[in-house]
Amino acid sequence: MNAIETANALHLSGSDAEIVATLQTLTAGRIDPQDVRRWCRENGLWYRRPDGTMGGSLQVVYTSATPQQQAGLDQFFAAVFGDSAVSLRTTEPIYAAQVWQIVQMIASLSPESAGLVDSFYSLDGGRPWKDLTAAQYAQQRTDSERLAAADQWYAQAMNETISPALTDPARTVDTVRAAVAAAAAVGT
């Protein structure tokens, strides 16, 4: 499915730039919290210590984070460590945007954040529209409209001329050829 088909299937609206911004946050599949826990541990962000307390760089910066950042970390913690999520619904625009904001915030709070965002999104196969531009989206829309017009013409020609000729029990090669020739004139 291309970006236009995805945007249509999700009923996205707004300017091309707004739609592209939304598409850029979507992932190939939902993200399993177990994979996120492993990712947090492997990146030294957050992990359970043997005594049950939490450790990692996010635990350290939590107390000095702004209330908004703490709220985002709380939401992330609840979903990933608190078992409040079966999966991160990053294939759905509203939730994908929330996760995107939280992951961006985590990267901003992490001292060694190079590649952190991409490594997070690689947990589910990545973001298919990560590099999509508004110009590319507009071109896909133009291509889609062109193809839809051609398909519509073809359907009309088939329905009005060729199909009736092909189903006529008295058809001959000449009557089918005449129907094909007549189809060429449909919509011109």
pLDDT, tens digit, 9 for 90 and up, residues 156-169: 888 888 889 889 99
C-alpha distances in Å from residue 72, one per residue of 39, 61, 77, 87, 109: 18, 13, 9, 17, 12
> To 10 degrees, what angle do helices 93-109 and 67-80 make?
120
Q: What pLDDT score was predicted for residue 52?
A: 87
% of the chain surpassing 70 pLDDT: 98
Q: What pLDDT score was predicted for residue 183?
A: 83
